[in-house]
Structure 1
Amino acid sequence: MKTSAVAAGLLMSLMTSSAMAQVSDNVVRIGILNDMTGIYADAGGKGSILAAQLAAEDFGGKVAGAPIEIISADHANKPDIAANLARQEYDAQGVDVIADGGSSAAALAMQNVSRERKKIILLSGPATAEITGKACSPYSFHWMYDTYALAAAPPAGVLKRGGDTWFFITADYAFGKSMESEATKRIVADGGKVIGGVRAPLDTPDFSSFLLQAQGSGAKVLALATAGSDTSNAIKQAQEYNVIGPNTQVVTFLMFINDVDAMGLKNGQGLVSSTTYYHDLDEGSRAFAKRFWDKMGRPPSIVQAGVYSSVVHYLKAVAATGTDDGEKVAAKMRELPVEDAFTHGAKIRADGRLLRDLYVTEVKKPEESKGPWDYWKIVATIPGDKAWRPAEESECPLLKTH
């Protein structure tokens, strides 16, 4: 009996060892790389670490027989720092996958490293559509939104209400330029005209000169191709300078729920933007939000929800393949439908674009809000097969072979 028990134990040990041998370092290591202290810290930051931890928790802390470990670093939205940290995490720290990504410029730099190392990167923070365009990679996935989709909804509605002349205040880096370019195409195609614009430095505290230029242009629409605290600061200052009024409306393209909280409903009421996640959208989104809220003291942003969703899908692919090999896991991720608490049957295209539904939101009036963080109403839904850039219009070579 003893001999038999020892043999059985040895066989189990060998089976476990064999399974873990498919996982490098016998650990599945996830790196959260984003802005931990700057203008995107509320939308990503430490909340993205928690989101990844909740994803790992769903798997009991283990996948393919190996423990899941989460590490993090702050790239301060600087592309050179982001690239160096990505190399360090992939090469020296044994990271299998990087998640979040933060700002667009930093993400593009990390995407290059991901491609070189044949390691996966899951991008929920950055917005530039270049990620799945000419910069696309077989190892990268764009999870929550991009500038093409975000540009789709606001122009059409605003133009119908007479907003035919536009002035842009644009964040002076990859995201802002891409956002302005995509939105301008929609505005012009629908009969509108862009009559001016300025480029604003990232994380600028004072928008007064930009707002006065917008006011002086006579444009009916002030378009903010900004994000994070830049957006909330610009809107608060636009109210102070009386830029917003009966003759001028403000359009935002990317607004985090945290931005609405920062500016307040009085300042933000009526603002239209788009999202792919809202914590009060349905039963599943509310259930995930409660888990996050209980530990963070507030609901998750779209970015943090994206970290959770993308990491869950990554871990499912690792479980299905029994390995953390980048090529095998990436192929399995594209093969499997995306299914989690608030994503149902969404597909990943060959370029890494997750084709999920897009929701057009409007900020509630103060009297419409029923409680803390009850800030948005959903005014329209754009199906996943309609929201994103059509494959035939893409510059991604991965789509030319499918």
Structure 2
Amino acid sequence: MSKLPAARWTRTAVRHLALCAPLLVPLATHAQVSDGVIRIGILNDQSGPYSDLSGQGSVEAAKLAAEEFGGKVAGSRIEIIAGDHQNKADVGATKARQWFDREGVDVIADFSNSSVGLAVQGLAAERKKITLVAAASSEFTGKSCSPYSTQWVYNSYSNGHGLAKLLSKRGYDSWYLMTVDYAFGHAFAADIRKTVIESGGKMLGEVKFPLNSPDLSSYLLQAQSSGAKVIVSASAGSDMASTVKQAAEFGVTRKQSLAAPAVFITDVHSMGLKSAQGLQFLTAFYWDRNDTTRAWSRKFYERRKAMPTMTQAGVYSAVRHYLKSVEAANTDDATAVMAKMRQLPIKDMYTDNGWIREDGQVMHDMYLVEVKKPAESKAAWDYYRILDTVPAKEAFQPLTASACPLARK
């Protein structure tokens, strides 16, 4: 083999490396993102009782987040896809499995149904895929928690326990539960029941009804006959709206107070201020809270002709934070991205002081609001009066009380 002088060999090697460099750089870049695309699935109720509070509005919220990055992150295109789980856990799990195994989906967000979300969260953990949960069961960050999951908006503790504690302090000491009969309602009922009893109050009864029930009259009559000072509609979406409207028709609220732990601005819009006035509840987001929330919400309104719910705002925030973390990690590897998600503060129009706790709970302030009277509303969607801010550490269950194994590590 011929020998080159050292100086000439060095010049030759440099020329060869320079020729190879253009080939090596793209390979290194694409190796960081599994298939060259950051694919985000929005899985929720697109056609049923939760479609207004999540549905296509959550898809548009996710697109707004992607557009802030110019449609690309870590050198890869961002793609948003959507699916309707029809409020069936098996349908949702099948769709998620297809997305993960065949369509290269990196993360699934929203859910809007706790039974579906819990089914998919377990599936995602097996595949080391990320879920950004906007459903309500406390189980997501409890015994069913996952190192690849976060719960973004609210849960049965923040809105069930929080509401029961607030009303108990105001002298409501006898309660009756109207519970939608699946994981969402069961979780809220459990947290409310526990808090009422701990506060010295009495539970006078509970009735369970099927999801998406059009006629709740028989259940309301049972609640009315109990004589409880407060009747709680442990439901959401159209079920909660139907409860409030039918309670007004039956005159329930003339002698008894009606409370609902999970109320969305689309519910109030559907019910109308005449039916919903005076209703108090906790929310994670209100479009008219400050200049930043107003500016983002107007962008959303241009697309949907409706102001965003706390779920839709939460989906935007979750997707945006996920993309920021992909950018920081320079990869779509779920373990690396989750590490960045936990490390980076959450600062956006949704919250300016948020963070992700060990159990996956996204910590942010909540707001006690009251629905305005018709005469107090100055324009369409001018529905809430903010009464108080509940700091994150007071709004959510203490980490020491969490059943999540990750909280004990």
Question: What band does the TM-score fall into relative to the shorter chain?
Answer: over 0.9
Specify which of 328, 344, 354 is matched with residue 346 of structure 1.
Answer: 354
Superposition pairs of residues 179-218 of structure 1, within 5 angstroms = 179-218=188-227
**What is the TM-score normalised by the length of structure 2?**
0.94
Partner of 1:109 in structure 2? 119
Offset of residue 10 of structure 1:
7.3
Amino acid in the other structure paired with 2:50: Y
Partner of 1:3 in structure 2? none
Partner of 2:3 in structure 1? none
Amino acid in the other structure paired with 1:290: R
Partner of 2:163 in structure 1? 154
Amino acid in the other structure paired with 2:184: F
- RMSD of the TM alignment (CA)? 1.6
Deviations 1:353-382 (A, max 9, x none): 001001111111111111110111111111
Amino acid in the other structure paired with 1:64: A
Offset of residue 275 of structure 1:
0.8
SS in 1 for 2:79: strand
Partner of 2:66 in structure 1? 56
Mapped to 2, the partners of 1:249 and 1:149 lie a distance apart of 20
SS in 2 for 1:244: helix
Q: Which has the larger radius of gyration?
A: 2
- Residue 170 (1) aligns with residue 179 (2): yes
Distance change >3 Å, CA 14–CA 291, structure 1 → 2: farther
Offset of residue 342 of structure 1:
2.8
SS in 2 for 1:219: coil
64-73 or 152-161, which deviates more:
152-161
Deviations 1:168-208 (A, max 9, x none): 00010001011011011111111211101100100000000
Partner of 1:37 in structure 2? 47
Mapped to 2, the partners of 1:312 and 1:116 lie a distance apart of 24
- Residue 393 (1) aligns with residue 401 (2): yes
Mapped to 2, the partners of 1:160 and 1:178 lie a distance apart of 22
Distance change >3 Å, CA 17–CA 226, structure 1 → 2: same
- Residue 368 (1) aligns with residue 376 (2): yes
Offset of residue 311 of structure 1:
0.3
Cα contact 1:120–1:140 (8 A) shared by 2 = yes
Percent identity of paired positions between Structure 1 and Structure 2:
48
Offset of residue 296 of structure 1:
1.0
Structure 1 unaligned regions, length at least 5: 1-6
Partner of 2:309 in structure 1? 301
Deviations 1:37-87 (A, max 9, x none): 000000111111101110000000000000001111100010011111111
Partner of 1:292 in structure 2? 300
**What is the TM-score normalised by the length of structure 1?**
0.95
Partner of 2:99 in structure 1? 89
Superposition pairs of residues 244-259 of structure 1, within 5 angstroms = 244-245=253-254, 247-259=255-267
Cα contact 2:162–2:395 (8 A) shared by 1 = no
Specify which of 6, 11, 28 is matched with residue 18 of structure 1.
Answer: 28
Amino acid in the other structure paired with 1:272: Q
Partner of 2:242 in structure 1? 233
Mapped to 2, the partners of 1:295 and 1:187 lie a distance apart of 42
Partner of 1:279 in structure 2? 287
